[in-house]
Amino acid sequence: MGRQIHFYMLPEDQNAFLQSARERDPVEVVFRDGSSAKVQPIAVFDANKTETLCLWNRTLAPRLRRKWIHDSGYYRIHESEESVLEFRPSLITAWERKPAIIQGRIYGVFDGHHGKSPEFEKWFDSLVRWIRNNFRKSPTRMGGYLGPAAQVFYEKGGYLLPQFLPPSTKEWRAELAEQHSR
């Protein structure tokens, strides 16, 4: 069974989150997909890339490899089989020519039949606790949590978007207009 937490993080929020995670455990950020089975930690990554990443706790998974996806022609880390968490950073973008942030998330699969330890879920819970203790609840119907820099971004008129760039429809314009109607 999977669990997730949604958030809005600007780069400084993300840096604070990752620093905290790394102070507690030997955590690496890695690309979920790649051209090789070998997994290399990412030292610095572009906060505006749309690639899905993984959080890898080396204590819980000392070795990590991608598996070949024959139909797609690339290698992938499977969150359902490996003790890693999917990490989708927030994406800074524009909607209707105004600054916006696409919601990010951390997602984990915890069923025991893949040999995952109880410590893996405890690690996820510790990351969720950190976000809840250091971020504020989103004031929008999309939910999630706002990092301090994302909160300032929102207060200055930036939009908080769902996990995708919504189309410019009457319904979405009405939904997002409510964010700054006060």
How far, in Å, CA of 111 to CA of 161, rounded? 30
Q: What is the pLDDT of residue 73?
A: 87
**The residue to which tokens 């939009």 are assigned:** 159
What residues contact 154, with CB distance under 8 A and at least 6 apart?
8, 101, 139, 146, 160, 179
How far, in Å, CA of 29 to CA of 21, rounded? 11
How far, in Å, CA of 3 to CA of 107, rounded? 6
* pLDDT > 90? residue 55: yes
Task: Supply the pTM of this predicted model.
Answer: 0.92
Q: What is the pLDDT of residues 80-133, one digit of tens each?
A: 889 999 999 999 999 999 999 999 999 999 876 567 889 999 999 999 999 999
Q: Give the DSSP H/E element, type plus range, for residue 172.
A: helix 170-177
Q: What SS3 state is found at 160?
A: strand
The β-bridge relationship of strands 53-57 and 27-31 is: antiparallel
Which strands, in side-by-side order, build the sheet including 74-76? Answer: 33-34, 74-76, 67-69
The answer to whether 55 touches 87, Cβ cutoff 8 Å, is yes
